[in-house]
Structures are given as structure tokens and as C-alpha cells.
Amino acid sequence: MGAAAHLERGLIVKRLKSGRRAKAERGGYATGAPAYGQQAVERELAEHPDEATTLEQPRAWHTEGVGVRNIARRLNNAGIPSKRGGRWHPTTVARLVNPEARAYARRQSASTRAFYREQTHRDRADRVLQRLQQRCSPMSDWTVYSAHDPARWLNHRDPMVWPELHQVSRFSG
């Protein structure tokens, strides 16, 4: 039952990702919070009138040579709320006045999420391997085909262990 649920979850995730990708390719709004100055209206991005007028001032200050810390300070002193109603932070201002900084931050957070996801998979594979090694006798029964990633290249003489080895390879890849 758990394998079927795992498979179904994977299929749902795949459909959602491909749908978001297709919508983004058509130019629609697909994921994430809209940037400052924009809002989601009927699942499409539209200009937020109040934020759009406010957005002009920090960009003007930036072209005058004012630093992001000073811009954040000026916005906070003026009582202008950020997108979520809080105080302005220099990093937020940098992403606001420089679109490349926003794109870089998105790429960086995506790679960080991918790293932690891979780490989680490896930890799961290690736990399954430890259970297998505790249950199955001496290491002489094991054949390790690759020292780089043992979770993918293990074999055991006992065919009864093979289904769990398949589970390890699913977690590690």
C-alpha cells in the first residue's frame, strides 16, 4: 500500500511541475509570491496600483546612487510597508531595484532545496542499509560494486534481501 501511495505522490508532483512549466512558457503566472508592484488576479500577474507607484521611488533613489541600506531605512522611516506588511530589509531592496539579484536569489534557493532533498534521500538510504546490515549476516555476504555510492551498487547472496536493496536504490536516486 505504501508503494502505491509513493507512486501516486510522484505522479501528482510530476503533473503539477509540468503544468507550472507549461503555464510559465505561455507567459502566465505559475509559482511563488508575486514581486513587489505586482499581484495575482484570476491566476495572472497584474500591476498592483499602490505598490507600483511606491516602487518608482526606491528605483529613483537607486539610480541617484543611494545604497540599498539607506533606501531600506528611508522606506521604513516613511512608514511604507513591505510586500507582506513588515519592515524593509536591504536584501529585499536589492532584489527590488535589481532584477538580476532577484533571479539569482531564486536560483540559489532552488539549488539549496535540491541539495537538502538529495541529502535526505542519502540519509534514508543509509538508514535502510544499516537495517539490512544488522539483519543480514557478515559483510562477506555483501558485494559492493562502487565505493562512491554503495547504496546503488550493493548486492547480497540471499535473494530475499533484494526487494529491500531495490528500496535503497529508490531512496538514493
Asked if residue 156 lies in contact with residue 142, where contact means CB atoms within 8 angstroms, the answer is: yes
Whether residue 121 has pLDDT greater than 60: yes
- Taking alpha carbons only, the member of 144, 146, 167 closest to residue 156 is 144
H-only helix segments in 65-147:
68-77, 90-97, 99-135
Residue range 24-82, pLDDT digits in tens: 777 777 777 787 888 888 777 888 888 888 888 898 999 999 999 999 999 999 999 98
Burial of 54 per CB tally in 10 Å (0-12, 13-18, 19+): middle
In this prediction the pTM is: 0.50
3-state secondary structure of 41: strand
Helix (H) or strand (E) holding 48: none
* Domains of the chain, residue spans: 35-97, 116-173
